[in-house]
Structure 1
């Protein structure tokens, strides 16, 4: 089975940026192959990685569910529904040199998704067998993992900014983990965008109060902001980037195997 790493945190804390750099780290260490899964409803992992976004699995689910309601049939003559879905899911896998990308997307339409979700679960389980690592950029609630659509998770990395409220939000996410039936080997916190890479005493106090294990601190770096404004993929940050160096030191200490 693939080793699954899930990254979670509330929006706006730089979670997806760190996820992209984590994927690049695994690829640079030749620890692949890696399946990158964008499971955040606000999908933008592809922008961090610098690749075009494929058709989302949510869009495929909605297409088939709408067809069930309307009576329209998008399936070519002579092809079964299951074969059509597997073909569409295959098209949604964006293949890169060192990793492949799946974008989960989300569904808003009405109708029953049970059949499609079942096929999706089977398809992702089939995919996962071909990879050493599955790295999942989650929304805060880890919906796709808790519903069993994605594989069970081995390591959960929680990301917060350096504010008390940010740490409190991550603490609430941490409490969801056992409620979702997840039993990861490791759960830890990375504090991102810390001025000078240093936490103040109030933040440290809140981390302890929330019962969180601090994996490390990533400093604030204007270069990340500049890359975003210029539309440059964050994974193109230079090797001496403080953000890259700090994150890589944190990952080096984790037993991702």
Structure 2
């Protein structure tokens, strides 16, 4: 039975870094094979994981829409080939990048093929880690529609928590089955204040834990190093792993 965890949050809160830590955590617990899905239009999950991206599913769809199909090849076969090229493989996990959502006008044939491809691809993996953007445009297309855990990442600000509350409500309104929803408070300067806890409660969020600011994360990011390679002494990684120990089934 497949187990899927989705992450969401507004830009700049460290969501993708935590998504990478989740992949690392699951590998360390022997939870494989994993398909990591980058469903954020500002795609950089590959940088966190240290993988090169040659093609995205959105790019494959656009090529089909423009008719960039070699002569003698059917559209179905072409988009199937391009989608296969979009899978970034590694020893313990693979990555697929959704790319930009479709622009104006619907091209149902390409979207239908994309959906069917994702369905078949996901069947090959026991675990899914889905990195979403705040609007969660892509998650309703993922036909593995049941999400066991939704992790909403926020910084410790009122505005950030209000955005997290909106994401939580949006996820509940989408036609996906969702098991549990948790808030992870990232880039924290200490324990959350009473005022902050009140905002979390008012937004209907369940706090899973806090993650401290971590100079190592900033250093890795600045030097272009994949944060999945953070050392064991990383304070943020320790905190995130402790949160996962509490909320992810053994």
TM-score, normalised to structure 1, is 0.92
- Give the Å deviation of 1:145: 1.5
Which residues of 2 match residues 59-74 of structure 1 at below 5 A? 59-67=59-67, 73-74=68-69
1:238 and 1:245 mapped to 2: Cα distance? 10
Q: Counterparts of 2:173 and 2:22 in 1: how far apart (Å)?
A: 26
Aligned to 1:216: 209
Q: Which position in structure 2 is the counterpart of 1:48?
A: 48
**1:152: how far off?**
2.7
- Are residue 227 (structure 1) and residue 220 (structure 2) matched? yes
Q: How far apart in 1 are the matches of 2:105 and 2:11?
A: 28
Shift of 1:201: 2.0
Which segments of 5 or more consecutive residues in structure 2 lack a partner in the other structure? none
Partner of 1:100: 94
Structure 1 stretches of 4+ moved >6 Å = none
CA RMSD of aligned residues (A): 1.6
**Would you say the 8 A contact 2:69–2:78 is kept in 1?**
no
Q: Number of matched residues? A: 250
Change (3 A) 1:148 1:35: closer
Deviation of 1:107 after TM superposition, in Å, equals: 4.2
Deviations for 1:204-251, whole angstroms, at most 9, x for unmatched residues? 110011111111111111111111111111111111211111000110
Give the TM-score, by structure 2 length: 0.95
Q: CA deviation at 1:81?
A: 1.8
1:179 maps to: 173
- Aligned partner of 2:25 in structure 1 is 25
* C-alpha distance in 2 between matches for 1:108 and 1:121: 13
